Structure formats: structure tokens, C-alpha cells
A and B are shown apart, each in its own frame.
Chain A
Amino acid sequence: MGIERLFIANRGEIAVRIVRAAQSLGIHTIQAHSEADAEMLAVRMADEAVCIGPAQAAKSYLDVDAVVKAAKDAGADAVHPGYGFLAESPAFARAVVEAGMIFVGPSADTIQSMGDKVSARQAAGTAGVPVVPGSDGRVDDMETAAEIAERIGYPVMIKASAGGGGRGIRIARTPEDLAKFAPQARQEAQAAFGDGGIYIEKVIPQPRHIEVQVLADGTRAVHCFERECSLQRRRQKVWEEAPAFGLPEATRQAMCDAAVDLAEAVEYLGAGTVEYLYDARADKFYFIEMNTRIQVEHPVTEMITGLDLVALMIRVAGGEPLPVSQEEITLNGHAIEVRLNAEDPLKKFMPFPGVVGTLDLPESDGIRVDHFLYKGYQIPPFYDSLIGKLIVHAPTREAAIDKMAGALDAVRIDGLKTTIPLHKALAQSADVRAGRIHTQWLEPWLDAGNLTTDQTGGAS
């Protein structure tokens, strides 16, 4: 059947990325935008643009009825949700399909089962994917909670079943902690998500975050190797790499195979990511969750495989069988992406939604910038502070870090404060170079004052 008119229900750099991919496939693009986003780059690039509501995301990008109606009225035959906003809303996926359009992503049922931590964990367990030792489902009474914690060993993490983004997570080091925190977690989950379900998990000390990119057509799945996303601040990734460093080949293969097994078990369709915690000392990995969307950090995978993931997800959504076999996907070199945010890293990452001045984003062989900036553009204050991503590719990790350091020196974005000084300092860090990093490395490093006002050279 094939998609002919694609409605892009997102904004910012990912909207630009989707418009580009769709246009490369000869697809007519219809860009959604809020009243505050009429001047954004994707609107200028797309074949058509439609206003879907006021600036507040709740009344535009997050309004299922408004988005579906706008897509239908514009004569779209498919909707691409991007990431964030409604990308992982089963209700949205269902509404798009019920309105007679294609949702570029997996089925609403798959989104729903992967979106609930307990059911996702059960699906992973059934597919043979290792999971973090813990309760095999939601826990509704304190006695069971205490029994499980005793069995898996303290410290344990208490999480809300319906939560996300790290909300409601507590760590209990002793049975006394558990007795105190579990009821609080239940109350908080009930208030925040309308569901007081909690579950309990073993704490993996100093874990690395490694995730596997998959692509699937509903029947067959392939993996596109893994990404290392251990540099995080407030549970947000800031610097991502592909492949992971220092990973034993057998472990990499097992992680990738497990991701493919899970994708096929849930009849996955589109681009998805299976996230793991990796305990480097024990050389063990554990399933965390599956993200049923294209991710911010997808370009590092594209750099090392040569694939266009966004174009591929549109093609399989249109009904094509996966056009690549596992053997055809090979890993070449090393890629790093840094997230450029309109924030001042020297002032506690205070948001800085200014007007873009002189812009110099040197793209060349092995340097790519995904962004939505142009000179004179007023960054709206209403949305996420991500303004772009700088991605480099080189034969080795060491060469990629050098290339990143050079690219950061060459990039110029006037008129805004950005996180470039943070990335310059990271590129100089001995721990980053040596791979001595984990998900709890960055925040103490920042607290220790490693980011100084020396913007040109960065901190050591």
C-alpha cells in the first residue's frame, strides 16, 4: 500500500529529521505545529503545515483529538509521532488507526504492554531476556514486599508500576527503610498516576546503561547493535555512543539476540529500543524497558551502520517487509552524539530560550548536526530545551572523542547559552576517555566543580 501523505505530530529537531526522511522517500509531508511553533524549521521545510492548537502542549501536541482531527482533515494517510508527546500513548495509536490512518510505530497493544513496567518485565522474562531480580509483578502488601526484599538482598529499589522518568523511585537499604518507604511510594503513585501499584527490584551498583536498537516488520526483527548512554543527568541522557565500549563480544551478542527475541515475541513493528542495565564487574545485563519509538540518540546507530532508521520505520509502517537482513547490518567504527540544550550549564542548567544569532554548524565527513535552528529564530520557552545534536563518526572511540572535541570548538551558536561547555569538559575528562563511567558518574562529577567558567578549554 505505501504511505503517500505523512502527518508529523511533533516539533523541534525530530520533526525536521522526519520531514527529511519522508521527502527522501517521495512522501508528501504535513507538519503539525502549535501557535508558538508557526516559525519552526520543520514548518518551513514541509510541503504543508497545519496549526493544531495553542502554545501549551496539553492543548496542542498532547491533545489526541485535535491531532487526529487535523491529520484526517489534511488528508493524511499516516501519522509519525516522533518521540515524547504522544509517541508512546496507546490511546493515540488506537485513535489514529480508528480514524483510518497508519500509525508509524507498533500496535497500540504492544505500546500498552511495553509501557507498563510489570507487563514489560513479564514479556521480557517469557522471551528469555534477563531481568533485574525483583518482584515478578506488582506488590500489594507489605508482607510480600519484605519477603521479596529479603530474598533478593538489600539495597532494593521501590518503583511505581505506572511511573516514568524516575518519578516515585525510592531506595531501601534495610527492612526498616522498606517499611517506611513502601507505603509512601504507594501513596505517591496513587496520587501521581491514579494507580498505587509498586514493584521491587534489586539495586545494581554503578550500572552502565546500554541499549539495543531493533527494527521489525511485525514478523521478523533485526538488531542494529547497541548504544552506550551512561552519561546522564537527572536521568536524562546527555552524551551517547555506539557501540558500547569494552563490552565482551559474547555479551554484546547475547544482548542483541535477546532484544531481537523480545521484539519478535511482541510482534514488534517499526524502530524500537531495548534498554538494559549492565553490571560491568559481573559482566551481567538486565532488561529495564523497551521504548516503542524512535529515540533522540538514534543517529549514533545510523553512523555506525549506514542505515536510515527513520526512513526504514516509515517503510515498514507502510506495509513493506524489512528490506535488510541481519547479515547486511554491519558495525563500522565508533560514533558519539552530544545533546545541545538551550541551558546554561554554569548556572545550574538554567533554561535559556533566546533568539538564535550567528550560526556556524560545520557538517562534513563524519560530522552531522541534527537541529532546528536558523539565524533570527526565537526558541519558544514552552517546550523541551533540546535544540540539536552534534554527532561524530571515526574509526575508533579515541578518534571519535578527539573529533568531538574539535567539532565542539568549531560549532558557533550565538544568542543562546548552550550545553556546549559541558560537552567540551566531558571530552577532556580522563574518566570519559578511559570509559570509567556509569549512570551515577556525571552528577557527582558536576557537584565536585569539574565544570568551570573556562569555556574555551573546558575543565580537566
Chain B
Amino acid sequence: MADIQSPVPGTFYHRPSPEDAPFKAEGDAVAAGDTIGLVEVMKSFIEVEAEEAGTFGGYSVENEAAVSAGDVLATLK
């Protein structure tokens, strides 16, 4: 079980754009370096990457939620 934390404060997005599906769904295989979400900070979008491989356990915060640096965004099983 590993947590994926937000590198910066901002608004967290599960999807690359409103029309797209979420980056990951529960049970998906995750490779190290996979993008699992975006954090919008001051009008820039920062990709949130998994640091290690695993199975996606789900998002820990809602889409478009306000997050702080270090907040857990998603978990790996």
C-alpha cells in the first residue's frame, strides 16, 4: 500500500480534460512514472506521477478538490 501525494498545492483533476475518462480506475495496473492526475496551480497544470509500480487503489480526494502540497491524492495496492 503506497500513497501518492500532491507535489504542489492547487486543484486536483482525475481526468486529462473534462471529456476524458479518469487517468486510472480501481484495479488498473500502474507503472512507475504513470500519470495518475493533474494539479492545477496558478493556471499551470502539473502532472502527478506514481513513484512506484502497483495496482491502483482509487482516488483519495474528489475530482476538482482543493489540495495542499503533501495531501494524499490516490493509493496503490
Contacts and interface: CB of A to CB of B under 8 A. Distances in A.
Contacts of A350: 44, 46
Given A55-B66, A381-B41, A351 B11 contact: no
6 contacts: A350-B44, A353-B9, A353-B42, A381-B41, A382-B10, A383-B43
Q: How would you classify the secondary structure of chain B's contact residues: helix, strand, loop or mixed?
A: strand
A382 B8 contact: no
A416 to B, nearest CB: 12
Given A55-B66, A56-B64, A342 B11 contact: no
| Contact residues on A (Cβ < 8 Å of other chain), bracket | 10 to 19
Q: How would you classify the secondary structure of chain A's contact residues: helix, strand, loop or mixed?
A: loop
Interface string B20-31: 000000000000
A137 to B, nearest CB: 31
A377 to B, nearest CB: 14
A343 B46 CA distance: 13
Contacts of A384: 42-43
Contacts of B8: 351, 353, 381
A382 B11 contact: yes
Contacts of A381: 8-11, 41-42
Contact of B41 (A36, A55, A56, A353): A353
Interface in B44-68: 44, 46, 64, 66
A10 interface: no
A53 to B, nearest CB: 13
Most buried by B among A342, A381, A383, A385: A381
Nearest to B64: A56
A351 B9 CA distance: 10
Interface in A337-365: 342-343, 350-351, 353
A236 to B, nearest CB: 10
Most buried by B among A36, A342, A382, A383: A382
A103 B47 CA distance: 40
Interface string A143-160: 000000000000000000
Nearest to A348: B44
Given A56-B11, A381-B9, A382-B11, A351 B64 contact: no
Nearest to B10: A381
B43 to A, nearest CB: 6
Interface string A378-395: 000111110000000000
Nearest 9 A-B pairs (CB), nearest first?
Answer: A351-B42, A385-B42, A381-B9, A381-B10, A351-B41, A381-B41, A351-B44, A55-B66, A353-B9
A353 B42 CA distance: 8
Given A55-B66, A56-B64, A383 B42 contact: yes
A368 B43 CA distance: 27
Contacts of B41: 351, 353, 381
